[in-house]
């Protein structure tokens, strides 16, 4: 969402106004949860995160995971372009051991997973959005989204347990979402935040910082090249450049 220069201005603002402390206070309202680390939920995609969560993740990776920069950047660039056309894409921050490499700064959407009751979780058509995107990409650009992706959805997981021993009401999670939205309003117009315009997956946030306008504008061409021919001719040079970025 912001190039590197603007991103560091936002980081400084968040630190000066102690917004990261407020972010942690919001997280602390959630009960502690544990699961069996099957990573099924992490293998479907990278969940959306507020901008304040992204810059919190950015500084964590910058300060603690320098040896992983190239890996994260390469995987995030691939995810940015191929999320909808490559069935093998998964969250770039999921390690080979099926554990989250940035667990300490995972977004609220990850923290919420498994806290709702099965009934509340399953309300609505959870993959309706993907089906609509698949339809529009074919109609407008003749890009075929694999059925496995278009029809995918995150299933309810009964293997998550939390410290309260009972589901968390959706209303309570909504209150926390509202608190995070207020933090994003420090950086963007409230109307944009209210429309969830600041909620993007971590790898998409990251590539909006790393890649230039021209590289991002080639997304549809790269998607079509891969969807039609499984070719990475356009993609690989961009991934190589992205991997050289320094946090």
pLDDT, tens only, 117-171:
999 998 865 566 889 999 999 999 999 999 999 998 888 999 999 999 999 999 9
Instruction: Give the model's pLDDT for residue 116.
Output: 94
Does the structure show a pLDDT above 60 at 89? yes
The DSSP 8-state label assigned to residue 100 in this structure reads: B
Does the structure show a pLDDT above 90 at 67? yes
Question: For the segment 90-101, what is each residue's pLDDT rounded down to a tens digit?
Answer: 999 999 999 999
What's the rounded mean pLDDT across residues 72-93? 97
Question: For the segment 201-242, what is each residue's pLDDT rounded down to a tens digit?
Answer: 999 999 999 999 999 999 999 999 999 999 999 999 999 999
Instruction: Give the model's pLDDT for residue 182.
Output: 97
Q: What is the pTM of this model?
A: 0.95
Q: Please report the beta strands in the chain, taking only residues with DSSP state E, as ranges in sequence order.
A: 33-34, 48-49, 161-162, 200-201
Question: For the segment 23-64, what is each residue's pLDDT rounded down to a tens digit?
Answer: 999 999 999 999 998 988 888 889 999 999 999 999 999 999
* Residue in 25, 10, 29 with CA at minimum distance from that of residue 162: 29
Q: Tell me the C-alpha to C-alpha distance, in Å, between residue 10 and each of 5, 62, 76, 140, 245.
A: 9, 15, 21, 36, 19
Instruction: Give the model's pLDDT for residue 196.
Output: 79
Residues in CB range of 147: below 8 A, 6 or more apart? none
Q: Tell me the C-alpha to C-alpha distance, in Å, between residue 81 and each of 24, 111, 176.
A: 31, 26, 31
- Both tokens assigned to 163: 């410290």
């Amino acid at each position: 969402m912001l190039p590197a220069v603007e991103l560091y201005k936002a980081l400084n603002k968040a630190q000066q106004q102690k917004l990261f402390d407020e972010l942690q206070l919001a997280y602390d309202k959630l009960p502690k949860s544990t699961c069996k680390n099957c990573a099924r939920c992490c293998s479907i995609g990278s969940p959306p995160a507020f901008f304040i969560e992204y810059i919190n993740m950015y500084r964590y990776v910058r300060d603690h995971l320098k040896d992983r920069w190239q890996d994260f950047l390469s995987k995030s660039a691939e995810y940015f372009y191929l999320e909808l056309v490559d069935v093998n894409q998964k969250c770039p921050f999921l390690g080979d051991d099926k554990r989250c490499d940035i667990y300490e700064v995972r977004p609220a959407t990850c923290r919420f997973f498994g806290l709702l009751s099965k009934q509340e979780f399953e309300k609505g058509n959870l993959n309706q959005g993907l089906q609509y995107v698949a339809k529009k990409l074919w109609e407008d650009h003749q890009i075929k989204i694999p059925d496995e992706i278009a029809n995918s959805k995150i299933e309810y997981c009964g293997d998550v347990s939390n410290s309260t021993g009972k589901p968390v009401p959706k209303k309570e999670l909504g209150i926390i979402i509202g608190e995070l939205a207020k933090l994003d309003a420090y950086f963007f117009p409230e109307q944009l935040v209210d429309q969830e315009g600041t909620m993007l997956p971590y790898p998409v946030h990251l590539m909006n910082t790393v890649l230039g306008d021209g590289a991002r504008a080639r997304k549809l061409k790269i998607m079509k090249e891969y969807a039609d021919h499984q070719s990475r001719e356009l993609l690989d040079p961009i991934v190589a450049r992205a991997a050289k970025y320094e946090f």
